[in-house]
Structure 1
Amino acid sequence: MNIKDKPIGFFDSGVGGLSVLKEAVKVLPNEDFIYFGDSKNAPYGVKNVDEIKKLTFDAVEFLVRHNVKAIVIACNTATSAAIIDLRKTYINIPIIGIEPALKPAVELNKEGKIIIMATPTTLCEKKFFKLMNKYKSISDIIPLPCPGLVEFIEEGTLEGEEIDGFLEKRFFSLKDEKIASIVLGCTHYPFVKKELSKILGQDISIIDGSRGTAVQLKRKLISNKFISSKTKKGEIKIFNSLKDNNIIDLSFRLLNS
């Protein structure tokens, strides 16, 4: 098979990376995609780094066996824990990671604090501290760990009293703060943007890195001369470690939402 005609692999700890895949399909409509979600082991954000690395490498091996031409680690936690080692190991495959979209939030130059919602592991990694230190002199940045939020989304709970109560509790300590923007540092979180806006108000900007990651993927494909030559719309295959039709149904529902 011509390398241009090979699919692009996407990986996330569960269904969250579908928020990135949605943007990639818009940017690269003629490409084929293979998505692997590891919902059986979700969430990654409360696991130790060695465990996250092993799970991520296992998932990447799954995608490599499916003959992909590039891989997107559409998971902030897995990117933080494993991206350096992955690139050293798979030197012939472009591997694109994702990180909290802090730069766009800073560039908005809005008055108030920038809140970064992410998993506990993402917020503890050196990669995140390096990113935050880059901007802390010009912006007031507050990390907000959100253990438990991924589980709601993995269950398909994207709105309603239960998740509203969870979000209100997480933001309770910030109720007297002026918030400029929210950075979503987990690819699951864009699926609850609507509820966040309902709770925090429409004036607060909510930013995620999905579009930027999709654009970076396109750049990598162009620079490697891997862009598909096909003119028809590409195909999307979704796999999940749970091997349950319900999680596949949820995945396609999220992808098409």
Structure 2
Amino acid sequence: MQQAIAILDSGVGGLTVVKEVMRQLPQEKIIYFGDTARTPYGPRTSEEVVQFTRQIVDYLVQFQPKMIVIACNTATAVALEDIRSRVNVPVVGVIHPGARAAIKATQTGVVGVIGTDGTIRSGAYLNALKQISPAIQVVSRSCPDFVPMVEKGLFRSPETHKVVEKSLEGLSFPPMDCLILGCTHYPFLADTIGEVMGPNVSLISSADETAREISTILYQTNHLARSHETPIHQFFCSGEPAMFRHIAQDWLGEQIMLQPVVWQSPSIT
């Protein structure tokens, strides 16, 4: 049986990573877990986020995945090393790939970062960016209202535009030329964020770079899928399944329509 890539998130945000993995690695089987019953993770304590992430990983290891992807910036910031110490497969986070993409993109050396309270409070992006380029200037801001809107499927409404505009007020100023979407939920709002920030600020999503890192690790460890059969993906959510499925199908579009999917609602507590 083909081993899967296990991808987990606090809710639907990790679907942005799923979409890129499906696009770049169409033969790979994906098992996705969205903790929609306990989202958002941003306002929670580090101890809670580590506990929740451990519970999800403990659930996912029964499927014997060949890799675990923590597609949640908050969980990556506080739980990545903990999870790496607990499992014997590669564990990938989303912060360092996003930081690398921003360093490549910036011409001015001034990078903005928006994320949840937990991610910004951790300083994970600041540290990752400084590790790569010590001279980089970083402007950070938490946007706690974004995740609840996305989880409700409200990412194209006029009200959403007002919330985004208010949350990002005063953030766009020269010489910042790129903005890291430091939460995997935020690409759902990318069109609106782009309108608010203006054409001179490039938006950096870690999803593309994370998918490339996944591909590189699987290639180096000789674990890329060899089967030419269409993979059967599995999607789990801990909360209301109807909204989760609606958002997943809307976001993934044709990619999910062309491949068989099993939708399940597990109990992990």
Same fold, TM-score > 0.5, yes or no: yes
CA contact (8 A) 1:16 1:75 kept: yes
Partners of 1:196 and 1:138 lie apart in 2 by: 26
- Confirm or deny that 1:64 pairs with 2:33: no
> What's the counterpart of residue 98 of structure 1?
94
> What's the counterpart of residue 32 of structure 2?
35
CA contact (8 A) 2:27 2:228 kept: yes
Instruction: Indicate the larger mover: 101-110 or 214-223.
Output: 101-110
Aligned residue for 1:254, secondary structure, equals helix
Give the counterpart of 2:223 among 212, 223, 226. Answer: 226
> What's the counterpart of residue 242 of structure 1?
239
Q: Could you list the per-position Cα deviations for residues 68-95 of structure 1 after superposition, in whole angstroms to 9, with x for gaps in the alignment? A: 22111111111111110111110x2111
When residues 164 and 178 of structure 1 are mapped into structure 2, their CA distance, relative to the original with a 3 A threshold, is farther
Q: Could you list the per-position Cα deviations for residues 146-177 of structure 1 after superposition, in whole angstroms to 9, with x for gaps in the alignment? A: 11110000011112221111111112233555
- Confirm or deny that 1:148 pairs with 2:145: yes
Partners of 2:39 and 2:249 lie apart in 1 by: 18
CA contact (8 A) 2:30 2:234 kept: yes
Aligned residue for 2:136, secondary structure, equals coil
TM (norm. structure 1) is 0.91
Alignment of 1:38-53 (within 5 A): 38-53=35-50
Matching residue's letter, 1:179 = M
Alignment of 1:90-129 (within 5 A): 90=87, 92-99=88-95, 101-111=98-108, 113-125=110-122, 127-129=124-126
CA contact (8 A) 2:103 2:133 kept: no
Alignment of 1:204-215 (within 5 A): 204-215=201-212
- Confirm or deny that 1:164 pairs with 2:148: no
Matching residue's letter, 1:28 = L
> What's the counterpart of residue 199 of structure 1?
196
Partners of 1:108 and 1:223 lie apart in 2 by: 26
Q: CA deviation at 1:65?
A: 1.7
When residues 87 and 161 of structure 1 are mapped into structure 2, their CA distance, relative to the original with a 3 A threshold, is same
Which stretches in structure 2 are left out of the alignment for 5+ residues? 255-269
Aligned residue pair count: 253
Aligned residue for 2:95, secondary structure, equals coil
- Confirm or deny that 1:89 pairs with 2:98: no
Superposition misfits of 4+ residues, deviation over 4 angstroms: 175-178
Partners of 1:97 and 1:135 lie apart in 2 by: 16
Partners of 1:182 and 1:151 lie apart in 2 by: 21
Q: Cα RMSD over matched residues?
A: 2.0
Q: Could you list the per-position Cα deviations for residues 109-159 of structure 1 after superposition, in whole angstroms to 9, with x for gaps in the alignment? A: 434842101111111225334224336753331001111110000011112
CA contact (8 A) 1:38 1:240 kept: yes
Partners of 2:72 and 2:186 lie apart in 1 by: 11
Instruction: Indicate the larger mover: 10-19 or 246-255.
Output: 246-255
Aligned residue for 1:143, secondary structure, equals strand
Partners of 2:110 and 2:224 lie apart in 1 by: 40
Aligned residue for 2:170, secondary structure, equals helix
When residues 144 and 106 of structure 1 are mapped into structure 2, their CA distance, relative to the original with a 3 A threshold, is same
Aligned residue for 1:40, secondary structure, equals coil
Aligned residue for 2:177, secondary structure, equals strand
Alignment of 1:181-192 (within 5 A): 181-192=178-189
CA contact (8 A) 1:31 1:235 kept: no
When residues 45 and 181 of structure 1 are mapped into structure 2, their CA distance, relative to the original with a 3 A threshold, is same
CA contact (8 A) 2:76 2:94 kept: yes
- Confirm or deny that 1:9 pairs with 2:30: no
Q: CA deviation at 1:204?
A: 1.8
TM (norm. structure 2) is 0.87
Aligned residue for 2:246, secondary structure, equals helix
Larger RCO (CA under 8 A, 6+ residues apart): 1
Aligned residue for 2:139, secondary structure, equals strand
